[in-house]
A and B are shown apart, each in its own frame.
Chain A
Amino acid sequence: TQLLEQSPQFLSIQEGENLTVYCNSSSVFSSLQWYRQEPGEGPVLLVTVVTGGEVKKLKRLTFQFGDARKDSSLHITAAQTGDTGLYLCAAENQAGTALIFGKGTTLSVSS
């Protein structure tokens, strides 16, 4: 069974702090996606990483795909209250028909 394990499950920080969340698996994936979900809304894609070792930056967010394509990390620099939300990683299932999702990291940034 393919599993995506995310850590930490919850993170509460002050504005301006840096943080990293992780997405790990024992399976190899062809690509991995990160979504952000705000309260009361559906998830929205942030980024897709495809190549092992790839690093992508989206303003203050840095995404990295592990060399072996089994894990990924999301680093946020100088967090802002607008970064508050649920961060989900996702990858294609073995059948290639749908995505499997991690359980998510709930981030709370306070001012």
Chain B
Amino acid sequence: NAGVTQTPKFRVLKTGQSMTLLCAQDMNHEYMYWYRQDPGMGLRLIHYSVGEGTTAKGEVPDGYNVSRLKKQNFLLGLESAAPSQTSVYFCASSYLAGGNTQYFGPGTRLTVL
């Protein structure tokens, strides 16, 4: 039982490049989330999903797209990376919505030059 896993752990991009971050969970959770964490800013919600085939915008969605084609996977895409997207990205999942316990992955550290 791996919980929530994220791929890759580290990545360096040049401005304008694209990439996809993969999140996978084996807990059969309906709800999945993508956050970014920046120094002094806490965790900010980018996008979330309440079930397979559904996605919704969070607090800071601009410049990101997501897809949830399978219940266990939640993909975060950057179409044209910008230096402002340098951050640590965390994926999380939960059995129920809202105030339910969220289980986090280990994070992806992304640097955009």
Contacts and interface: CB of A to CB of B under 8 A. Distances in A.
Interface of A: 9, 29-31, 33, 40-45, 48, 88, 90-93, 96-104
A42 B45 contact: no
B89 to A, nearest CB: 10
A39 B111 CA distance: 17
A44 B107 contact: no
Given A40-B107, A42-B104, A97-B56, A30 B42 contact: no
A97 B97 contact: yes
B33 interface: yes
B42 A104 contact: yes
Given A42-B105, A102-B42, A96 B97 contact: yes
Interface residues of B, number: 24
B90 A42 contact: yes
Contacts of B53: none
Contacts of A92: 98-99
Contact of A42 (B41, B58, B107): B107
A44 B104 contact: yes
B4 interface: yes
Contact of B106 (A31, A40, A48, A97): A40
A33 B42 contact: no
Given A33-B101, A41-B107, A92-B98, A98 B43 contact: no
Given A97-B56, A99-B102, A101-B42, 12 more contacts: A29-B99, A30-B99, A41-B106, A42-B4, A45-B101, A48-B99, A88-B43, A98-B58, A98-B98, A99-B45, A102-B42, A103-B41
Contacts of A103: 40-42
B83 to A, nearest CB: 22
Given A43-B43, A103-B42, A93 B98 contact: yes
A101 B58 CA distance: 13
B43 A101 contact: yes
Interface string B67-103: 0000000000000000000000010100001110111
A33 B99 contact: yes
